[in-house]
Structure 1
Amino acid sequence: MSSDKMNRGRRSSINRHVQWAHVHGSSSLAKRDINNSSYPEYKSRSDFGQQPRRYYLGNTTQQHILVVGVNSIGTDNSYSFGNRTPTPLVRTDASLMSETTEQQRRPWFIWIISIIEICVFIGELIYNWVLIGRPIETDLSKNPLFGPNAFLLINMGASFSPCMHAIDGITNNVGSTKFPCPSSSPLGGTGCTLSELCGLGGVSSTPNQWYRFIIPIFLHVGIVHIALNLIGQLLIAAEVEKKIGAIRIAIIYFASGIFGFILGSNFAPNGLARVGCSGSLFGTIAISLLNLLYHWKKIANPKIQLIVHLIDIIMSFALGLLPGVDNFSHVGGFIMGLLFGLAILSSPTNFGRALKPKRSKRAKNEWNNLRSYEKFFRNRPRGWWMWWLVRFIAVGMVIAIFVTFTESFYTGRIQCSWCKYISCLPVNGWCDVGMLNTNSST
């Protein structure tokens, strides 16, 4: 009997059995006959012997059995047995699989960091209750955001320059008792030394509590402050973590927050106590903007989303000009988020795709003999190499600005008289808030 007749007989047998199974509500017989049939030589039976998930039964003359199986790399392939050669009928888009993975991820880092910040804020209220007798400052002129005493925040680790480096006329005599006390409710109440005000082990003749660049990320001024930041984290930063993972979001979160306080320590008035995770949040906003630009063609209505991003950023920076809001943290966090995003995020769409290797047998053998790192660099387009150059430049800029502004904070090398207007408007004395009087009596 010829092979053509044998194939026709085999196909008709499969069709009859599957049709009978469909009518009588059983799929085990159809599955067994499919597994026992012959398949193309370059496919093993294990590739097709999985549990069938879907059947399409047509008429008896032009019937196709559609079996959707999952292969070893996780993509769905469908094969039609109407002829000898398998025909792909269904293809799962890689971007769809990526979106599914993102939806299944949980933003554990953002959840954990948010819980820690809530616990720290509860600790602030308890500490304020112990020292002053009430959990929040009742005089809204001293704290309009419904939170603890400002001097208590300094004592708990707020970014406060006199506790961090020497300031002529302020830290020359750290043993003087002319500094406010953490328990002082009225503004201007004195009677404590600088060490008692700063806390955390006190300060010497040359204050250097460098950890005040980190601790303030977990502190908040009041209920309104922490509520707004948590809403931003859970709505924006959590989505960013789903896309880039916990390790990358953690790096960007802390780098943006720390640099925001470093930048503010250089230019903000020495008497301001600055706290909050706004810098970290703005770093994640920068990542969200980069992700939009990276995958512009894959995102629905990208122009509208870009406009929404820009309006949100402009409004946030505008609000940072109001008194009591540290715009330096916003600016510094956003800059650091952009630079770190360029450095550690995946390449934009089409930049990272490797060119298809030649199909010749010699080329395939050569490819199989390559080491894993050699395969990573082989057949990359020119744009991929250019983007890695951008990455290295971004890393260099991150290191440069961290070192430059940290060194300037301790030496005062960078002087900028107008930079204070980044965080305030010159009306009603807003830019004079936090200026310390360095005379001998106060």
Structure 2
Amino acid sequence: MPRRDLEGGGTKNTDSHGYDPETKWTSWLVPMFVVANVGVFIASMYVNNCPRTNLGFQGDCVARFLGRLSFQPLQENPLFGPSSSTLTKMGALKWDSVVKGHEGWRLVSCIWLHAGVIHLVANMLSLVFIGIRLEQQFGFVKIGIIYLLSGFGGSVLSCLFIRNNISVGASGALFGLLGAMLSELITNWTIYTNKVAALLTLVVIIVINLGIGILPHVDNFAHIGGFMTGLLLGFILLPRPQFGWVEQHHLPSASRLKSKYKPYQYVLWILSLVLLILWLSIGTVMLFKGENGYDHCHWCHYLTCVPTSKWKCNES
């Protein structure tokens, strides 16, 4: 049976049983997310107002010609951004504030904040390259759900393990999109050409990015939590119908497909839905009960930092 070349974005010759070319959605949500993230960063720099608040103990403000948008001294923030106190004020993820201060909104607000220009640019480039492709294929509703829920899932896992530091960034949401790409490839396996090459490429990208997360001061728990959430959501939201389903009304009744999706797609859908509900509900309850993730997983500190002779890890 002829198949659509999804990697190339084109179609191969099809007969009456072929797979209908899919609607090409116009990507507008992902660009809006980029604008929102840039806008929030500018707002955080305006609130930071380094020339007025910096006491000079760690050096002078960087790029003072920007006025109140100038950056904190590089000794304090080498990423060219605001102070940690400003990020906390703007909604950074902080265990005390979420659990003891009952500020659960930080689980969402933190994904719109970034520690500096370098952090912002890296995440926005990733969002553009990954998000626009997915939005064009599946539409803004599904990709918006994956992005926001993955960011929330990353925040929950991060807050379960990290208590003494703040956490900001869209990395959890971005890893959710990577996870959704992986599950979309798996659940729509029969549609893809060059499927093994596509799978290996995607796995290598994911492994490299998760590997970077074991460096000090990188919140790999947000990456892992976002990836797990996005992976499950991909199985739920991104399955494609069988070949010929769209055109089956042109076929004789005896030739029509009985089911829109393959049996394994239904199995993955149900299993992923159950696991997603369990993960988000149990994780959120554990978080607001004040439980420490390390009490249930003593070795999990290796997921976010591996101590070497070059650096030490603070497990708390």
TM-score relative to the length of structure 2: 0.80
Q: Which residue in 1 is equivalent to 2:21?
A: 97
In structure 2, C-alpha distance between the alignment counterparts of 1:94 and 1:351, rounded to whole Å: 5
Residue type at the aligned position of 1:393: L
Residue type at the aligned position of 1:380: S
Residue type at the aligned position of 1:287: A
| CA shift in 2, pair 1:219/1:128, >3 Å | same
Alpha-carbon deviation of 1:94?
Answer: 5.7
Give the 5 Å matches for 1:363-402.
379-380=258-259, 384-402=262-280
Is residue 310 of structure 1 aligned with residue 203 of structure 2? yes
Residue type at the aligned position of 2:215: L
**Could you say what secondary structure the match of 2:262 adopts?**
helix
Residue type at the aligned position of 1:420: H
In structure 1, C-alpha distance between the alignment counterparts of 2:252 and 2:81, rounded to whole Å: 68
In structure 1, C-alpha distance between the alignment counterparts of 2:95 and 2:200, rounded to whole Å: 38
Higher relative CO (Cα under 8 Å, sequence separation at least 6) belongs to 2
In structure 2, C-alpha distance between the alignment counterparts of 1:388 and 1:245, rounded to whole Å: 21
Alpha-carbon deviation of 1:208?
Answer: 0.6
Aligned length: 286
Give the 5 Å matches for 1:27-426.
95=19, 97-98=21-22, 101-102=23-24, 105-129=25-49, 131-132=52-53, 134=61, 135-166=69-100, 207-268=101-162, 270-296=163-189, 298-347=191-240, 349-350=242-243, 359=252, 379-380=258-259, 384-411=262-289, 412=291, 414=293, 415=295, 416-426=297-307
In structure 1, C-alpha distance between the alignment counterparts of 2:130 and 2:118, rounded to whole Å: 18
Q: Which residue in 2 is equivalent to 1:431?
A: 313
Percent identity for Structure 1 against Structure 2:
27
In structure 2, C-alpha distance between the alignment counterparts of 1:118 and 1:93, rounded to whole Å: 46
| CA shift in 2, pair 1:352/1:358, >3 Å | closer
**Could you say what secondary structure the match of 2:313 adopts?**
helix
Alpha-carbon deviation of 1:271?
Answer: 1.5
Structure 2 unmatched runs, 5+: 1-13, 55-60, 62-68
| CA shift in 2, pair 1:249/1:321, >3 Å | same
In structure 1, C-alpha distance between the alignment counterparts of 2:49 and 2:252, rounded to whole Å: 74
In structure 1, C-alpha distance between the alignment counterparts of 2:134 and 2:152, rounded to whole Å: 19
- Is the contact made by 2:306 and 2:313 (CA closer than 8 Å) also made in structure 1? yes
Q: Which residue in 1 is equivalent to 2:65?
A: none
**Could you say what secondary structure the match of 2:105 adopts?**
helix
In structure 2, C-alpha distance between the alignment counterparts of 1:94 and 1:353, rounded to whole Å: 9
**Could you say what secondary structure the match of 1:113 adopts?**
helix
- Is the contact made by 1:294 and 1:349 (CA closer than 8 Å) also made in structure 2? no
In structure 2, C-alpha distance between the alignment counterparts of 1:334 and 1:276, rounded to whole Å: 14
Alpha-carbon deviation of 1:296?
Answer: 4.2
- Is the contact made by 1:254 and 1:280 (CA closer than 8 Å) also made in structure 2? yes
Give me the CA root mean square deviation.
3.2
In structure 2, C-alpha distance between the alignment counterparts of 1:301 and 1:352, rounded to whole Å: 23
Alpha-carbon deviation of 1:301?
Answer: 3.1
Bigger Cα displacement from structure 2, 385-394 vs 144-153? 385-394
**Could you say what secondary structure the match of 1:241 adopts?**
helix
- Is the contact made by 1:351 and 1:384 (CA closer than 8 Å) also made in structure 2? no
Residue type at the aligned position of 1:336: T
In structure 1, C-alpha distance between the alignment counterparts of 2:41 and 2:142, rounded to whole Å: 26
In structure 2, C-alpha distance between the alignment counterparts of 1:357 and 1:123, rounded to whole Å: 56
Residue type at the aligned position of 2:282: T
| CA shift in 2, pair 1:351/1:266, >3 Å | farther
**CA deviation profile, 1:204-245 (whole Å, cap 9, x unmatched):** xxx110001000111001101110111011111110111111
Residue type at the aligned position of 1:128: N
Larger radius of gyration: 1
In structure 2, C-alpha distance between the alignment counterparts of 1:165 and 1:120, rounded to whole Å: 24
Structure 1 unmatched runs, 5+: 1-89, 167-206, 365-374, 436-442
Q: Which residue in 1 is equivalent to 2:6?
A: none
**CA deviation profile, 1:12-40 (whole Å, cap 9, x unmatched):** xxxxxxxxxxxxxxxxxxxxxxxxxxxxx
